[in-house]
Copies of this chain bind each other. A is one copy, B any other.
């Protein structure tokens, strides 16, 4: 059997995809000089286009620098292959003697691997096909968490730690809109920015719960009345009870990718709408909205070391599984790698059926969401804390020893 491996990447970039890529390449190098790793540029599209690079020719030193860089060094795609597309893929794989296919991506990319593996079996093309998980949305079924999520969560924590101090300095209402189409994991991370009892974010809205604008306004009014300020984290995917995302409703039209996903990011409309409602309905003057947009997945210099290590590992493990001796029964090697939590904090990497992950969406468990629907639980804090990694920046405020009033001694403190 040829030991030539093809690796590619689909879906949105993350801070640690390149760790998985480099983990796979360096692990393959350990299997001997006859084990080559090719990369396809821009996912399955690069296979069809025969746009391949020889990753075995990259020096290990340079690979380490690529590993530390965010985004996706091979480029990505949102193409979804059909039967004809797969036949083009197999022509190229056959021409280059490739028997192993590793695809780094989210649930849509897992679906791509499933389709390619099924078609390979139907066509009789001998292919070992493995899906390597990544997504900042953390929405892959069967995974404790997915590579990419911890680093994006860390960005959100660092962003909210600063936004809360900023809001305390110039009080008002601050609304941040965080990525996450169906799963609130990334938005929920904002809660870990809190240090004091009155720290923000004071309210956290997740797509797992129906969003009611009037209830939202009531929540903001209550916090603002109590603290004189309010910091809010809202998922871009929040939707009313009928299920349509509010961001999509505002946009009027919906841009969809080949997998049917509505485009929600890349517009500030949701934050602007919510801020306008707060100004007009609550009469609060200083209201500011930020849409975190692509910064949260691409910002350089904000990776979790735990995430980097785990992303590296799943890439290494994928190559080990791909090159393992054939099973006795001759069962095809196919599946999706997944991180399972085995201790506090410890993990293992398992292989699960592609069908369990492909095109499915994991959302936040109920026990991670506070009963009121506008916050997370201590269980979520315990879940996320070890993933954020070492060296989270410290933030402190003054202890603020008051000076006794002289002039206004008679007034209320």
Q: Which residues of A contact B (CB under 8 A)?
A: 9, 12-13, 38-39, 41-42, 49-50, 52-55, 57-58, 62, 65-66, 68-78, 91-92, 95-96, 158-159, 161-163, 165-166, 168-171, 174, 255, 265-269, 271-272, 275, 285, 287-295, 297-302, 392-403, 405-408
Contact = CB atoms under 8 A, between A and B. Distances in A.
A207 to B, nearest CB: 20
A407 B95 contact: yes
Contacts of A275: 266-267
B38 A403 contact: yes
B298 A162 contact: yes
Given A71-B166, A292-B295, 20 more contacts: A50-B406, A54-B401, A58-B398, A58-B401, A62-B396, A62-B398, A65-B396, A66-B397, A69-B165, A69-B395, A70-B395, A71-B165, A73-B398, A74-B398, A92-B407, A95-B406, A255-B285, A265-B288, A267-B275, A301-B392
B271 A166 contact: no
27 contacts: A12-B170, A13-B166, A42-B169, A50-B405, A53-B398, A57-B399, A62-B396, A62-B398, A65-B394, A65-B396, A69-B397, A72-B169, A75-B169, A75-B171, A91-B407, A158-B302, A159-B300, A162-B295, A162-B299, A163-B298, A166-B297, A266-B288, A268-B291, A288-B294, A290-B295, A300-B393, A302-B302
B74 A165 contact: no
Nearest to A71: B165
B53 A393 contact: no
Nearest to A59: B399
Contacts of A272: 267-269
B403 A53 contact: yes
A405 B158 CA distance: 46
A158 B62 CA distance: 20
A95 B397 CA distance: 27
A265 B398 CA distance: 28
A66 B169 CA distance: 13
Contacts of A302: 158, 301-302
B396 A66 contact: yes
Contacts of A50: 405-408
Contact of A268 (B12, B49, B57, B269): B269
Contacts of A268: 267-269, 271-272, 289, 291
A301 B300 CA distance: 12
A294 B298 contact: no
A397 B163 contact: no
A291 B290 contact: yes
B408 A71 contact: no
A294 B166 contact: yes
A65 to B, nearest CB: 4
Contacts of A267: 268, 271-272, 275, 289
Contact of A53 (B9, B38, B292, B400): B400
Nearest to A74: B398
Nearest to A72: B169
A398 to B, nearest CB: 5
B166 A301 contact: no
A297 B66 CA distance: 28
Contact of A402 (B54, B158, B162, B392): B54
A348 to B, nearest CB: 30
Contacts of A49: 408
Given A165-B70, A170-B13, A159 B96 contact: no
B13 A169 contact: yes
A7 to B, nearest CB: 12
